[in-house]
A and B are shown apart, each in its own frame.
Chain A
Amino acid sequence: MKDFMMLFHSVPNMEYQPTPEEIKAEIDLWQDWIGGIAAQGKFKSTNALGYQGKTMHSDGTITDGPYAEMKEIVGGYLICTTETIEEALELSKGCPALAQGGKVEVRDVMIFED
């Protein structure tokens, strides 16, 4: 079994002001999808990322926001445990980010022996 990280890419819509009901419905969508992965015993951890962010550059300058220079941002991640990357990719089906035109990038988590 290996750990794979799903990175949720989406195009941020700063104008979108969801109602509390819409936020709740959105959370339910995500939780139902994540719960489905956990129900298969393949869930490890997850976090959502907010819009607040700053970027440090190699010359020491700091820019505001993670989205200043890109069209899409990473809105969160989930680490799952599967045999293969294909299996992890299969789990990403149904991710609410996809339904909203976003993408799920699946990467293997490296483990370094001491």
Chain B
Amino acid sequence: MNEDHKTKAAGEDPQDLIPKLFKAEYSNLVAVLCNFYGFKNIQQAEDIVSEAFIQAMKTWSHKGIPDNPKAWLRKVATNKSTDYYRRNKLQNEKIFPNYKSQISGEVQAPVFNESVIQDSQLKTIFAVCHPALSIDSQICLALRILSGFNIDEIATALLSNKESINKKLYRGKKKLKEINPDIDLLDGSDLGDRIDGVLRILYLIFNEGYYRTQAEQAISQDLCWEAMRLALMLTQQKSTNLARVHALIALMCFHASRLNSRIGAEGQLLLLDQQDRSHWDSNLITKGQQYLNQSARGARVSKYHLEAAIAYWHTTDSEDKWNNVLRLYNKLLQLEYSPYTALNRTFAYAKSHSPEKALKEALKLKLDDHHLYHSLIAELYHMIGDKKKQIKHLDQAIGLASNPHEIELLNQKKKDLHR
């Protein structure tokens, strides 16, 4: 990476280089500063790093890009941070004679090297995914601090607006300032529980990107890759290299293998059986299998294990596929109920037993006000061959759906029936 920037840097325009460098380095710099001076100073860390980038922009545009822009940024960030904390310490000691500085003795400078960066990033994952913060704040902070997304990008990625994202970031940082979490990566006992919170956030970020229709496809894919990158980071440290982390990575690999085949020509989301399997990424499927195998060494079966196994069976054409998928959905629902899982389980039930029996199961779900429920019932009637009832439920689904792409998909199904 370093060499890469060195060779490219010389002829490049700072206007082009800085955004790229920002993506790569912003999170590294902030993570190291936060770990060095404490997470309560997360805002200061962000300000210092932003200032370093502004200074780079100014200096490089008239002096040219330095040989090693990364090292330049790290140096400037180091100087700015030591300046800041020295000044801060001095001020406080003068104004409040009894003030005990948080930093005893001389203000030290943080060190930047690959192992410090890796360690800091990992600790930062745990800090921003702290359970004291709201889920929304955790997601926004993760994208901002860990992935270097700017506010506009976060707003686009999460289908939100700048004001709302800023608010969530502000609240999250305020909370971090209050609790000033001390993350000890070597203390596995504490991490054991906390890691579930981290995995949940990474899972949400991934899904946020995965279940997006055509709008802003590029950025939604970025969400998926970022979630995977962060999950892989957890495997780098012994205490966080757990079976359920591998299960989540496996799940992400299987889903990501279909990222490019799940959107149709008109931008609509395609169902698994409508997708062109030859476009599935076989490398990612193989990777998924490897991680799924590794995840089996754990004693506990997490929901990620079950979901990854379901996603695995969907990559196969095995005769026993639907029986296995149903078994896994039965288990998954016992672990955690969700209406989506209940509907998917009923579809698997139809495939494994019969659509008639599945219909009886579906009627017990009491999800009549959900458009996906009626889509499912319509599908079951389709399998049974009752066109009239199929249309009736398609109409009910169309009436309840709010996403224009889903409505389009349902209307298309109805049109196909009249052919």
Contacts and interface: CB of A to CB of B under 8 A. Distances in A.
A38 B365 CA distance: 10
Contacts of B346: 39
Nearest to B357: A32
A110 B145 CA distance: 48
Given A32-B349, A36-B361, A46 B337 contact: no
A34 B330 CA distance: 7
Question: Chain B: interface residue count, which band?
Answer: 10 to 19
A40 interface: yes
Question: Chain A: interface residue count, which band?
Answer: 10 to 19
Contacts of A28: 323, 327
A31 interface: yes
Mostly helix, strand, loop or mixed at chain B's interface? helix
B326 A35 contact: yes
Given A40-B342, A40-B365, A35 B329 contact: yes
A43 B364 CA distance: 14
A41 B334 contact: no
A36 B364 contact: yes
B337 A43 contact: yes
A40 B334 contact: no
Given A31-B331, A34-B334, A46-B334, A39 B326 contact: no
A32 B364 contact: no
A46 B329 CA distance: 16
Given A32-B349, A34-B334, A46-B334, A39 B327 contact: no
Contacts of A41: 337, 342
Contacts of A38: 330, 333-334, 337, 342
A40 B333 CA distance: 9
B356 to A, nearest CB: 15
B173 interface: no
B331 A39 contact: no
A51 B129 CA distance: 46
B364 A35 contact: no
B345 interface: yes
A77 B346 CA distance: 24
A39 B334 CA distance: 8
Contacts of B349: 32
Interface string B315-351: 0000000010011011101100100011001100100
Interface string A16-40: 0000000000001001101110111
B330 A43 contact: no
B333 to A, nearest CB: 4
A35 B334 CA distance: 7
Contacts of A35: 326, 329-331, 333-334, 345
Contacts of B327: 28, 31
Contacts of B63: none
Contacts of B329: 35
A47 to B, nearest CB: 12
Q: Which of A31, A32, A39 has the most CB of B within 10 A?
A: A39
B326 A32 contact: yes
Contact of B364 (A31, A34, A39, A46): A39
A46 B334 CA distance: 9
Contacts of B342: 38-41
Given A39-B345, A39-B346, A39-B365, A31 B330 contact: yes
Given A32-B353, A34-B334, A39-B361, 5 more contacts: A32-B330, A34-B330, A38-B333, A39-B342, A41-B337
14 contacts: A28-B323, A28-B327, A31-B330, A32-B330, A34-B330, A35-B326, A35-B331, A35-B333, A35-B334, A35-B345, A38-B334, A38-B337, A38-B342, A39-B333
